[in-house]
Structure 1
Amino acid sequence: MSRRRVRPDELELWSQIARSAKPLPGSLKSRKLSPSEPTVPNSRPSKPVTENVSPFSMGAKAPDHTDTHYFPKTAADRLHAAPVNMDHKAYQRLKRGKLTPDARIDLHGMTLDRAHPALTRFIMGAHAKGHRLVLVITGKGAAPDPYDPAPRQRGVLRQQVPMWLQMAPLAAAVLQITPAHQRHGGAGAYYVYLRRAR
């Protein structure tokens, strides 16, 4: 392996460092390097060379607050953040439980593979009949186990039904989804406001 030659800028830097270093007692004075010498000497400078280092303090750029836990949004949180697509006055009456559903389906106790086709049939049938407001009952899910080492979301149907309603083919018939009022099931049910049938 051949050794490379020292560049002139490296020699200049080395000479600046060598001038600032003090030789050890009893050692020979440092000699000057010529450009023909193959390597830079291995001795280290006693003072580090710094070029315009701005002062700083540890942690100055760290954020003031960091979230150490990430809690996924529930279906109700996502629905509250969704835009209102229907008439605002009708939406307020809907949220207060003043509107009566035209039809209802109870998915409580069903498995996911039974509930999804049942919901699809119900929504498409209600839309074909010209219904505007239907109630979908999912149930709240089992009570959480306080001794469970891993926290789990309650109510699989309660989480899945809003996603199913926002996917094809149901999304073409659904105008608005919102959690039901307490008189119609509260957190265990959803109001589904349908588009006008054409």
Structure 2
Amino acid sequence: MTRKKGRLSEEDRVLWGRVARTATPIKGKDYPQWPEAMEEVQPTNKPAEPHRTEPPQKTRRAPAPALQDPRHIDRPTHAKLARGRLEIAGRVDLHGMTQEEAHMLLISFLRRAYEADRRYVLVITGKGTSSRGEGILRRSVPRWFATSPFREIVGGYEEAARTHGGAGALYVRLRRRGPRK
């Protein structure tokens, strides 16, 4: 849009006139007088909006209930794990393993922890050295948790705090076992 500095286009003058009428003038001043012919001009790029005489009422809505994603660990629990207030009952390090080796070790580790009624464990995947900056295990382990052998055991997971490995580790919450027979 090219126009001379300090000059308003016809549409801008009409719009400014409407806005100026909604403001309370300074004591001793009056509203500027805009020619009535300008009021009839409609902006070409926007449809005309109805003029409001009173501000919209603010309504208070009740906050939506927080839906907890079952894959993730809630914030308070994550904070307790990070600060050491909740015990990490076991840890497994998958560094330097192939996906097949890591998958077998991880499922056996999680099954043993689940059978021993452990609640939280730490899975160290490493950050990886691929060109994209994210390792194969770091990407794969969360996907594995959604598959059948892990889904029955894993209740949730979340990236670990920096003190426990940060982006290269995961806190894993194991499901509680049903009543023993």
TM range (shorter): 0.5 to 0.7
Q: Report the alpha carbon displacement of residue 124 of structure 1 after superposing the two structures with TM.
A: 0.9
In 2: Cα distance, 1:189 partner to 1:101 partner: 13
Asked if structure 2 preserves the Cα contact closer than 8 Å seen for 1:137 and 1:190, the reply is yes
Q: How does 1:126-137 map to 2 (within 5 A)?
A: 126-137=113-124
Q: Report the alpha carbon displacement of residue 116 of structure 1 after superposing the two structures with TM.
A: 0.6
Using the aligned pairs only, state the percent identity: 42
2:145 counterpart of 1:162:
no
Structure 1 residues 142 and 153, CA gap change in structure 2 (3 angstroms):
closer
One of 111, 115, 136 as aligned partner of 1:124: 111
In 2: Cα distance, 1:121 partner to 1:114 partner: 11
TM-score, reference length from structure 1: 0.50
Q: Report the alpha carbon displacement of residue 83 of structure 1 after superposing the two structures with TM.
A: 1.4
Partner of 1:147: none
Q: Report the alpha carbon displacement of residue 113 of structure 1 after superposing the two structures with TM.
A: 1.1
In 2: Cα distance, 1:166 partner to 1:95 partner: 24
In structure 1, stretches of 5+ residues that fail to align are: 1-56, 58-81, 145-151
Q: Report the alpha carbon displacement of residue 89 of structure 1 after superposing the two structures with TM.
A: 3.4
Asked if structure 2 preserves the Cα contact closer than 8 Å seen for 1:165 and 1:171, the reply is yes
User: Residue by residue, what CA displacement relative to the aligned partner does 1:59-105 show, whole Å, maximum 9, x if unpaired?
Assistant: xxxxxxxxxxxxxxxxxxxxxxx815666632442355543310010
In 2: Cα distance, 1:196 partner to 1:143 partner: 36
Partner of 2:157: 177
Asked if structure 1 preserves the Cα contact closer than 8 Å seen for 2:118 and 2:174, the reply is yes
One of 45, 69, 89 as aligned partner of 1:83: 69
In structure 2, stretches of 5+ residues that fail to align are: 1-44, 46-67
RMSD: 2.7
Structure 1 residues 188 and 87, CA gap change in structure 2 (3 angstroms):
closer
Structure 1 residues 183 and 168, CA gap change in structure 2 (3 angstroms):
same
In 1: Cα distance, 2:112 partner to 2:144 partner: 16
User: Residue by residue, what CA displacement relative to the aligned partner does 1:101-122 show, whole Å, maximum 9, x if unpaired?
Assistant: 1001000110011111111101
Q: Report the alpha carbon displacement of residue 172 of structure 1 after superposing the two structures with TM.
A: 1.0
